[in-house]
């Protein structure tokens, strides 16, 4: 056997000589140097030393109890990208680690080998290509599946990352270092010894060597631990690997799903974040808007501003949560539309901005302003255009409805008590009206009332022996009529003043006419009776001609001689008034909400609008909400005619009222209402109504006069003004005589001279037609007539007056139905038709025979049948009409007994205006 030197052994084992020398030294083999021979025993000792039991025959690798064997393999997997991303190539690295536990010293080597087991399987998967495209967010990008797996809880199955981390990348360094020569075949000695068979991998060498030496009958574990490629691996290892691969793929799939989920959740998160940002921005905007609003409001409110601006305790919290929910559906309102309404009012009723409404109107081709008045039709269109429901109501209905709402008490149901009469003085100029009124007032003061005459309030009350009398301090029929024209029949009694020394004058007559037109009883005061030339009988005579017959002459008019200078007869006059009021049974409820009439009003410095209200029913209290004409307000203070504050005013009591929103007009009604807001609404309704009335008056023509003025009563009132009395009387007589049972022509006034303002007032109040016969109206009268919608008619021929008035009166009579024969046909022969039965062959003798009109069949000029045409033919054609001189065939509906020489009369019914006959 050839002797081997240390150097040769080092070459064989491919290790440095020095290292081998050191190992030999450690193994207890004494060699002098590298060239010293080494025996087989010494080699064995060295090997045993390397195996860990140099001296005791056991494995002994430096005292280590475990030997770890590691191996890794790499494969590539092609995986389809998630959600359309391109396919990815995944590098899968499978690392295997085996640990051989060193047995105790006395443990047999076989058992040691048996104990070799798979301790860990580590799989590392690496994406061969970055998946940046599939994973847009860097932080979410998984470079390796490990990372993805680490993010995903189920990936825990893939097993412990720490192993991956700690697993040294270079394989088996320590083992390799300590490993003996991996290719022992060149060594002749080991070959002779129970050396393990040649192994490509040195790791297995020691392992394989041991069983080869001590347990050669168990090659499988050695082979399992040999580190051979798959083909050489045992079946269970392949199973494990395929199992691992399956798990890896499973985890990959999960990772992909998770990646998709992540992408989705990322999108959702981004969306949520975006929405949150937008919401925040909106909040900020709202906050800003709200803050601006607050600032505006705060600027108005001073203190609050500071509080809000400091943001301290009690600071205004910008609560972006509104107090109301935005409605999900558009609000459809019922909008009541009167005859006319302003753009502003209409906008308010629809709860929209006026500007918005104006825009809509512009879209409809109407340029308008907020104060522009819209007629009902237009307003209705706009309301419907804006999606609301239009409810047309007459202004009257609307006002009445509102009045019902604000007047909860039914005044008619209240108990009535007698009330003082309200008296107006009328008469001719300079006949002593003012002097008499003054005397009455002074007399009252002289009678013991304190305070004296402090102010003029348009009305006052006088205490007579038998009761109170209320005087309207506005003498003259103009005022009386003006009030009446406004619908305010305030006066109960008229005192007709006639100067005893002057007698009846034109204005006296006018006054009578006005009083009569107002259906107001007259008490005659013969003034200036103290004068020497006073002639009361003359007055009586002249008034008797006007049908005012004194009581002492058997009539029913009281005549009282008085003197405003001496006071003569004043008490008697007052008593006469009280007596007259008793005859009239003047009564009114004292309780309940007040209703009255505005006597006069003015705007006073320091007091604002002041209105004198004459209470007609109920009691007006301080603090009541009052609606007066187009104005309203709460009664701030009330004063009587002496300027003394009062807290209440009952029926027929005049009182000055402070607190209205404006100055109502004389004759306006004034009522106490329950709701100030409603009062405001009513005031605006009235304002609109007045505007509408003015507009309508402008358009009115006399042609409408008969129908618009007299249609209720079939009464035609006429006001006549003539140049001379003779004409006036003749005309009035002719007109009145035209009256018949259905229409009455009523001359409300018949005077001499020009047409005055007073005439127009009277005509307005009486709804009368004004006729000027050789007279003209003055400027004021013309203007007033125009405002009232009255047309003045001037004549110079009496028959023209009569004809026009007859036409107007005839308009009130309506129409009659008359028959008009339109054609007559003579029957020449009769023949039979299967369709119509008897058909008359006719010749049209007169007019035109028309289809569709009623007919009569006449035999010997006697009507024997009335009916209608069924068929009208000319030759074989149906025709609509046949003219005179033409032959035709006529079939009469439901009549078969037509004979030769009969006549067929075709007629139509027409409306004929009835006319009044002129007087003879």
Ligand X SMILES: Nc1nc2c(ncn2[C@@H]2O[C@H](COP(=O)(O)OP(=O)(O)OP(=O)(O)O)[C@@H](O)[C@H]2O)c(=O)[nH]1
Residues in 472-531 at the binding interface with ligand X, rule: CB under 6 A: 527-528, 530-531
Q: Is 429 annotated as a binding residue?
A: yes
Nearer to ligand X, 531 or 607 (CB): 531
Closest approach, Cβ 527 to ligand X, in A, equals 5
Query: Does 542 sit near ligand X (CB under 6 A)?
Result: no
Helix (H) or strand (E) holding 825: strand 815-833
Nearer to ligand X, 119 or 438 (CB): 438
> If we measure between CA atoms, which residue out of 668, 559, 566, 546 comes closest to residue 616?
668
Q: Is 572 exposed, middle or buried (0-12, 13-18, 19+ CB in 10 A)?
A: middle
Q: How many residues bind ligand X (CB under 6 A)?
A: 15
Residues in 438-457 at the binding interface with ligand X, rule: CB under 6 A: none
Closest approach, Cβ 474 to ligand X, in A, equals 11
- Span near ligand X by CB under 6 A; candidates 257-265, 430-438, 485-493, 856-864: 430-438
Q: Is 875 annotated as a binding residue?
A: no
What distance in Å separates the CA atoms of residue 771 and residue 808, rounded to the nearest whole number? 13
What distance in Å separates the CA atoms of residue 570 and residue 525, rounded to the nearest whole number? 9
Is residue 817 within 8 A of residue 911, CB to CB? The reply is: yes
**3 state SS of 874:** strand
Residue 784 tokens read as: 């007033």
Q: Is 428 annotated as a binding residue?
A: yes
Nearer to ligand X, 43 or 441 (CB): 441
Residue from 45, 563, 766, 775 touching ligand X (CB under 6 A): that is 563
Q: HSE, CB side, 13 Å, CA atoms: give it for residue 200.
A: 5
Nearer to ligand X, 514 or 528 (CB): 528
Nearer to ligand X, 528 or 721 (CB): 528
Residue from 401, 435, 674, 684 touching ligand X (CB under 6 A): that is 435
Residue from 49, 388, 433, 477 touching ligand X (CB under 6 A): that is 433
Nearer to ligand X, 339 or 757 (CB): 757
Nearer to ligand X, 570 or 657 (CB): 570
Closest approach, Cβ 505 to ligand X, in A, equals 11
Q: Sign (positive/negative) of CA torsion 41, 42, 43, 46? A: positive
Q: Which residue is nearest to ligand X (CB)?
A: 432
Task: Tell me which residue has tokens 């921005």.
Answer: 281
Nearer to ligand X, 574 or 610 (CB): 574
Residue 513 tokens read as: 């006419």
Closest approach, Cβ 519 to ligand X, in A, equals 24
Nearer to ligand X, 428 or 686 (CB): 428
Q: Is 514 annotated as a binding residue?
A: no
Query: Does 429 sit near ligand X (CB under 6 A)?
Result: yes
Nearer to ligand X, 419 or 433 (CB): 433
Residue from 180, 202, 308, 432 touching ligand X (CB under 6 A): that is 432
Query: Does 147 sit near ligand X (CB under 6 A)?
Result: no
Residue from 79, 237, 381, 565 touching ligand X (CB under 6 A): that is 565
Plot region of 351 (φ>0 → left; ψ -120 to 50 → alpha; else → beta): left
- Span near ligand X by CB under 6 A; candidates 13-21, 275-283, 426-434, 739-747: 426-434
Q: DSSP of 414-477, one letter per residue? A: SPEEE---EEEEEESTTSSHHHHHHHHHHHHHHTT-TT------SEEEEEETTEEEEEES--SH
Closest approach, Cβ 473 to ligand X, in A, equals 12
Closest approach, Cβ 479 to ligand X, in A, equals 12
CA distances from 608 to 80, 603, 816 (A): 92, 5, 60
Residues in 51-110 at the binding interface with ligand X, rule: CB under 6 A: none
Residues in 623-652 at the binding interface with ligand X, rule: CB under 6 A: none
Task: Tell me which residue has tokens 């490509």.
Answer: 200
Residues forming a β-bridge with 6: none
Closest approach, Cβ 495 to ligand X, in A, equals 12
What distance in Å separates the CA atoms of residue 93 and residue 685, rounded to the nearest whole number? 94
User: Dihedral (C-alpha) 438, 439, 440, 441: value to the nearest 10 degrees?
Assistant: 50
Residues forming a β-bridge with 625: 634, 673
Residue 611 tokens read as: 């209105």
Closest approach, Cβ 412 to ligand X, in A, equals 39
Sequence-ordered strand ranges (E) for 465-580: 467-472, 493-499, 522-527, 558-561
Closest approach, Cβ 481 to ligand X, in A, equals 15
Q: Is 920 annotated as a binding residue?
A: no
Closest approach, Cβ 566 to ligand X, in A, equals 7
Closest approach, Cβ 437 to ligand X, in A, equals 8
What distance in Å separates the CA atoms of residue 800 and residue 728, rounded to the nearest whole number? 14
What distance in Å separates the CA atoms of residue 24 and residue 556, rounded to the nearest whole number? 171
**3 state SS of 683:** helix
Nearer to ligand X, 491 or 619 (CB): 491
Q: What is the DSSP letter of 665?
A: P
Q: Is 772 annotated as a binding residue?
A: no
Closest approach, Cβ 337 to ligand X, in A, equals 48
Task: Tell me which residue has tokens 């209409």.
Answer: 346
10 Å Cβ neighbour count for 702?
Answer: 17
- Span near ligand X by CB under 6 A; candidates 558-566, 649-657, 771-779, 784-792: 558-566
Closest approach, Cβ 544 to ligand X, in A, equals 22
Nearer to ligand X, 5 or 434 (CB): 434
Q: Is 476 annotated as a binding residue?
A: yes
**3 state SS of 864:** strand
Q: Is 475 annotated as a binding residue?
A: yes
Three-state SS for 491-509 is CCEEEEEEECCCCCCHHHH
Closest approach, Cβ 431 to ligand X, in A, equals 5
What distance in Å separates the CA atoms of residue 555 and residue 163, rounded to the nearest whole number? 140
Is residue 73 within 8 A of residue 94, CB to CB? The reply is: yes
Q: Is 535 annotated as a binding residue?
A: no
Nearer to ligand X, 51 or 758 (CB): 758
Residues in 871-890 at the binding interface with ligand X, rule: CB under 6 A: none
What distance in Å separates the CA atoms of residue 803 and residue 740, rounded to the nearest whole number? 16
Closest approach, Cβ 428 to ligand X, in A, equals 7
Is residue 456 within 8 A of residue 484, CB to CB? The reply is: no
Residue 148 tokens read as: 């993805």
What distance in Å separates the CA atoms of residue 762 and residue 764, rounded to the nearest whole number? 5
Q: Is 767 annotated as a binding residue?
A: no
Residues forming a β-bridge with 85: none
Nearer to ligand X, 495 or 688 (CB): 495
Nearer to ligand X, 530 or 868 (CB): 530
Residue 188 tokens read as: 């002749």
Is residue 416 within 8 A of residue 589, CB to CB? The reply is: yes
- Span near ligand X by CB under 6 A; candidates 341-349, 427-435, 540-548, 860-868: 427-435
> If we measure between CA atoms, which residue out of 149, 130, 139, 159 comes closest to residue 253?
149
User: Dihedral (C-alpha) 132, 135, 141, 145: value to the nearest 10 degrees?
Assistant: -100
Q: Is 877 annotated as a binding residue?
A: no
**Binding-site entries for GTP:** 427-434, 473-477
Residues belonging to the binding site are 427-434, 473-477
Residues near ligand X (CB under 6 A) are: 427, 429-435, 527-528, 530-531, 563-565
């Amino acid at each position: 056997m050839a002797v081997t030197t240390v150097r040769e052994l080092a070459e064989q084992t491919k290790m440095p000589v020095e290292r081998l020398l050191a190992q030999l030294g450690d193994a207890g083999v004494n060699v002098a140097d590298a060239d010293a021979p080494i025996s087989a025993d010494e080699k064995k000792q060295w090997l045993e030393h390397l195996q860990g039991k140099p001296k005791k025959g056991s494995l002994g690798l430096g005292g280590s109890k475990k030997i770890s064997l590691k191996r890794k393999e790499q494969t590539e997997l092609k995986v389809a990208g998630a959600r359309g991303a391109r396919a990815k190539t995944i590098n899968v690295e499978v690392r295997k680690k085996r640990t051989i536990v060193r047995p105790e010293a006395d443990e047999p080597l076989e058992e040691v080998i048996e104990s070799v087991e798979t301790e860990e399987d580590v799989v590392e998967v690496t994406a061969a290509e970055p998946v940046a495209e599939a994973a847009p967010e860097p932080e979410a990008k998984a470079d390796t599946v490990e990372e993805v797996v680490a993010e995903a809880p189920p990936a825990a199955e893939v097993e412990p990352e720490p192993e991956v981390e700690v697993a040294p990348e270079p394989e088996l360094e320590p083992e390799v270092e300590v490993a003996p020569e991996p290719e022992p075949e060149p060594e002749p000695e080991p070959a002779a010894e129970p050396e393990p068979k040649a192994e490509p991998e040195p790791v297995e060498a020691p392992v394989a060597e041991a069983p080869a030496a001590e347990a050669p009958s168990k090659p499988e574990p050695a082979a399992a631990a040999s580190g051979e490629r798959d083909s050489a691996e045992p079946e269970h290892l392949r199973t494990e690997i395929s199992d691992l691969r399956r798990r890896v793929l499973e985890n990959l799939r999960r990772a992909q799903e998770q990646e998709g989920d992540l992408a989705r959740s990322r999108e959702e998160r981004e969306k949520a974040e975006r929405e949150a940002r937008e919401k925040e921005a909106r909040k900020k905007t709202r906050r800003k808007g709200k803050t601006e609003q607050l600032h505006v409001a705060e600027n108005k409110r001073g203190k609050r501003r500071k509080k809000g601006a400091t943001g301290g305790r009690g600071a205004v919290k910008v609560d972006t949560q509104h107090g109301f929910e935005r409605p999900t559906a558009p609000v459809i309102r019922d909008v009541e539309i009167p005859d006319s309404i302003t753009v502003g009012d209409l906008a308010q009723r629809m709860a929209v901005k006026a500007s918005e409404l104006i825009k809509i109107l512009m879209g409809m081709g109407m340029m308008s302003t907020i104060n522009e008045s819209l007629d009902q039709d237009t307003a209705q269109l706009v309301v419907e255009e804006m999606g609301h429901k239009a409810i047309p109501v007459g202004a009257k209905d609307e006002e009445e409805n509102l009045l019902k709402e604000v007047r909860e008490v039914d005044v008619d149901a209240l108990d009535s008590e007698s009330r003082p009469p309200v008296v107006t003085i009328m008469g001719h100029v300079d006949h002593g009206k003012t002097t008499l009124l003054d005397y009455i007032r002074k007399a009252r003061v002289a009678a013991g009332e304190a305070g004296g005459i402090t102010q003029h309030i348009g009305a006052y009350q006088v205490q007579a022996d038998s009761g109170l009398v209320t005087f309207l301090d506005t003498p003259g029929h103009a005022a009386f009529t003006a009030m009446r024209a406004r619908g305010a029949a305030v006066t109960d009694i008229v005192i007709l003043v006639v100067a005893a020394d002057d007698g009846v004058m034109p204005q006296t007559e006018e006054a009578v006419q006005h009083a009569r037109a107002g259906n107001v009883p007259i008490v005659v005061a013969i003034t200036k009776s103290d004068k020497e030339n006073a002639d009361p009988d003359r007055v009586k005579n002249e008034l008797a001609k006007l049908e005012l017959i004194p009581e002492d002459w058997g009539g029913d008019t009281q005549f009282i001689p008085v003197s405003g200078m001496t006071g003569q007869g004043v008490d008697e006059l007052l008593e006469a008034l009280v007596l007259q009021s008793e005859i009239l049974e003047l009564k009114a409820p004292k309780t309940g909400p007040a209703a009255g009439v505005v006597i006069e009003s003015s705007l006073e410095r320091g007091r604002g609008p002041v209105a004198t209200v004459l209470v007609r029913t109920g009691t007006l209290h301080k603090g009541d909400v009052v609606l007066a004409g187009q104005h309203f307000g709460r009664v701030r203070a009330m004063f009587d005619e002496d300027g003394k504050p009062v807290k209440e005013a009952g029926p027929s009591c005049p009182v000055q009222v402070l607190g209205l929103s404006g100055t109502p007009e004389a004759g306006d009604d004034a009522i106490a209402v329950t709701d100030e807001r409603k009062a405001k609404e009513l005031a605006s309704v009235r304002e609109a109504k007045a505007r509408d009335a003015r507009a309508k008056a402008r358009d009115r023509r006399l042609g409408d006069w008969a129908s618009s003025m007299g249609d209720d009563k079939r009464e035609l009132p006429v006001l006549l003004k003539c140049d001379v009395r003779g004409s006036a009387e003749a005309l009035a007589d002719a007109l009145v005589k035209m009256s018949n049972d259905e229409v009455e022509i009523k001359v409300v006034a018949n005077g001499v001279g020009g047409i005055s303002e007073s005439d127009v007032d009277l005509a307005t109040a009486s709804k009368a037609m004004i006729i000027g016969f050789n007279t003209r109206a003055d400027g004021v009268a013309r203007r007033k007539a125009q405002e009232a919608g009255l047309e003045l008619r001037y004549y110079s021929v009496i028959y023209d007056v009569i004809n026009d008035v007859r036409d107007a009166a005839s308009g009130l009579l309506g129409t009659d139905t008359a028959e008009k024969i339109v054609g007559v046909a003579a029957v020449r022969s009769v023949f039979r038709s299967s369709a119509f039965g008897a058909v008359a062959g006719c010749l049209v003798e007169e007019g035109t025979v028309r289809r569709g009109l009623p007919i009569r069949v006449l035999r010997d000029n006697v009507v024997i049948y009335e009916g209608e045409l069924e068929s009208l033919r000319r030759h074989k054609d149906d025709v609509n009409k046949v003219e005179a001189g033409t032959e035709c065939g006529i079939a009469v509906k439901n009549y078969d007994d037509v004979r030769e020489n009969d006549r067929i009369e075709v007629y139509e019914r027409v409306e004929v205006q009835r006319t009044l006959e002129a007087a003879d």
